[in-house]
């Protein structure tokens, strides 16, 4: 069993006689021979549990002990320990692999693309050798190649058709977490599934939010799915989904999904403390709280937020959110601060022009997205007066409101139309949806405010008080009275 393999005392490379020459790609330490042999056997047997244990634990331990600063041995070096099997060496897909491993493949692919684009965009201090290589391989990590590769995985896996058939009760893809218990392979199907999340992520990095959300449409994120079976996939999906909706002014959708994932992380993060991804989980958690603060400041739909999440949010950003409601220069700078902290690391996918003076352009995409976001915030600030008056009145005449706002009636009608436009958006199906916390309609010259008071929920409050009361009773039971 994988759990019985003890790699904690694995010797260092020098202990296993790597020699004075340093790294040798053909040298295979004994502990690696054992690891590869066992992994090969489990892959042949399609023993997903043991493969997952070796991938998550043993591989990490060996890497830390033996290969912290050097690559693993070459494919040719380990070939003899897997009988030169093409299943392991060349990725023939007739096998079952853990979802975590398959997600990491897609996640790392997108990360490498993103990192290369960031690296290539920092031209100012490049050496002549680096510039020569970039000039020679100017099509390396071409954005069309990356998108085509991910799209090809989606199409070859037939995952969209599988998910459609699942709705009709023909397939059981989600029920089995993507695994094939009939002796087949899960690799291509799950890679295709996670590639849809990868496409969302790439399009978000490019600033094409509509296309990104369109790529994710086959996955119903309002329900549990294979994407929730891996914590990294779950967080990445909702983070990019929520951010894309924020940029498209679909604030309600963003708030609803941020609330669900933040509540999930709050309840389960203690189970991931030993995971290599724990720090990334905490970072994304903080970023999504910042994005939720932005959404609620632009669209105060607090009724959509669970009380536990709301309490955490107020603790982290309560003061800033109060200041963001003032719609002045300080509030504007706070929107800038939170967006800059929480947004993805946008990329410019094009190669630099080597004929012009070399400059860094790695921040250009970020500055453009920030400019677009702040422009939207500025427009929302202009509507703050309308929202304030609408919250006070149930009905008010156009003339009276125009007088209060110190504008003429034609200008007021323009402002009200702008408010309607800014509080409505088009969803993925082309339907118009409302994000308004205060809505209205005009009948002749009268404005009628639609009552949107949230229904109070008492269940969570009483449950929390019951838990506190039980805690007090337990503490009292432990006190010894003389």
The answer to whether 174 and 226 have CB atoms below 8 angstroms apart is yes
pLDDT at 387 over 90: no
List pLDDT tens digits, range 232-246: 999 999 999 999 999
pLDDT at 199 over 90: yes
pLDDT at 454 over 80: no
pLDDT at 76 over 90: no
pLDDT at 18: 47
pLDDT at 182: 82
Under DSSP, the state recorded for 118 is H
DSSP 155-183: HHHTHHHHHHHHHTTS--TTTTTT--TTS
Q: If you search the block for the tokens 């023909």, which residue do you land on?
A: 170
Rounded to two decimals, the pTM is: 0.83
pLDDT at 209 over 50: yes
Helix or strand (DSSP H, E) at 434? strand 432-434
Query: What is the C-alpha to C-alpha distance for residues 307 and 322, in angstroms, rounded to an integer?
Result: 18
Rg (CA), the chain: 27
pLDDT band at 231 (very low <50, low <70, confident <90, very high): very high
pLDDT at 363: 93
Query: What is the C-alpha to C-alpha distance for residues 309 and 260, in angstroms, rounded to an integer?
Result: 9
pLDDT band at 88 (very low <50, low <70, confident <90, very high): low
Q: Which residues on adjacent β-strands are paired with residue 443? A: 446
**What is the phi/psi pair of residue 245, to 5°?**
-65, -35
Query: What is the C-alpha to C-alpha distance for residues 167 and 122, in angstroms, rounded to an integer?
Result: 47
> Among 123-132, 159-168, 378-387, where is mean pLDDT lowest?
378-387
pLDDT at 455 over 60: no
Tell me if residue 441 falls in helix, strand or coil.
Answer: strand
pLDDT at 163 over 70: yes
Q: What is the mean pLDDT of residues 440-469?
A: 74
Q: What is the mean pLDDT of residues 302-316?
A: 92
pLDDT at 33: 92
pLDDT band at 453 (very low <50, low <70, confident <90, very high): low
Query: What is the C-alpha to C-alpha distance for residues 28 and 127, in angstroms, rounded to an integer?
Result: 35
């Amino acid at each position: 069993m994988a759990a019985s393999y003890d790699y904690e005392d694995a010797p260092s490379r020098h202990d296993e006689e790597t020699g004075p020459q340093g790294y040798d790609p053909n040298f295979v330490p004994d502990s690696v021979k054992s690891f590869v042999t066992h992994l090969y056997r489990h892959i042949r047997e399609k023993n997903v549990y043991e493969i997952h244990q070796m991938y998550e634990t043993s591989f990490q331990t060996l890497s830390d002990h033996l290969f912290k600063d050097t690559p693993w041995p070459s494919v040719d070096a380990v070939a003899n320990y897997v009988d030169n099997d093409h299943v392991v060496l060349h990725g023939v897909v007739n096998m079952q692999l853990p979802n975590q491993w398959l997600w990491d493949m897609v996640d790392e692919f997108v990360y490498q693309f993103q990192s290369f684009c960031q690296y290539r965009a920092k031209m100012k201090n490049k050496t002549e050798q680096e510039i020569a290589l970039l000039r020679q391989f100017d099509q390396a990590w071409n954005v069309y190649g990356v998108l085509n590769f991910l799209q090809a995985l989606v199409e070859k896996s037939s995952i969209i058709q599988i998910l459609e058939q699942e709705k009709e009760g023909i397939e059981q893809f989600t029920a089995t977490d993507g695994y094939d218990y009939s002796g087949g392979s899960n690799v291509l199907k799950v890679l295709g599934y996670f590639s849809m999340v990868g496409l969302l992520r790439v399009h978000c990095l490019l600033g094409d939010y509509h296309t990104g959300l369109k790529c994710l449409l086959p996955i119903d994120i309002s329900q549990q799915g294979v994407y929730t079976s891996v914590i990294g996939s779950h967080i990445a999906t909702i983070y990019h989904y929520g951010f894309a909706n924020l940029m498209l002014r679909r604030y309600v959708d963003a708030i609803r999904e941020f609330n669900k994932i933040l509540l999930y992380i709050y309840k389960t993060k203690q189970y991931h403390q030993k995971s290599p991804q724990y720090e990334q989980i905490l970072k994304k958690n903080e970023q999504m709280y910042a994005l939720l603060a932005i959404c609620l400041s632009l669209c105060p739909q607090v009724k959509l937020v669970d009380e536990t999440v709301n309490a955490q949010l107020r603790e982290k950003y309560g003061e800033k959110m109060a200041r963001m409601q003032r719609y002045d220069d300080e509030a504007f700078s706070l929107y800038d601060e939170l967006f800059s902290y929480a947004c993805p690391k946008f990329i410019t996918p094009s190669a630099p022009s080597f004929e012009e003076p070399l400059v860094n352009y790695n921040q250009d995409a970020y500055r453009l997205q920030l400019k677009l976001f702040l422009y939207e915030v500025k427009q929302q600030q202009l509507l703050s007066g309308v929202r304030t008056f609408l919250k006070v009145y149930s009905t008010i005449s156009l003339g009276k409101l125009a007088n209060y706002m110190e504008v003429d009636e034609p200008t007021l009608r323009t402002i009200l139309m702008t408010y309607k436009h800014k509080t409505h958006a088009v969803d993925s199906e082309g339907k118009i949806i409302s994000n308004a916390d205060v809505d209205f309609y005009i009948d002749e010259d009268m404005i009628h405010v639609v009552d949107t008071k949230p229904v109070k929920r008492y269940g969570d409050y009483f449950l929390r008080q019951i838990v506190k009361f039980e805690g007090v009773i337990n503490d009292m039971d432990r006190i010894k009275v003389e």
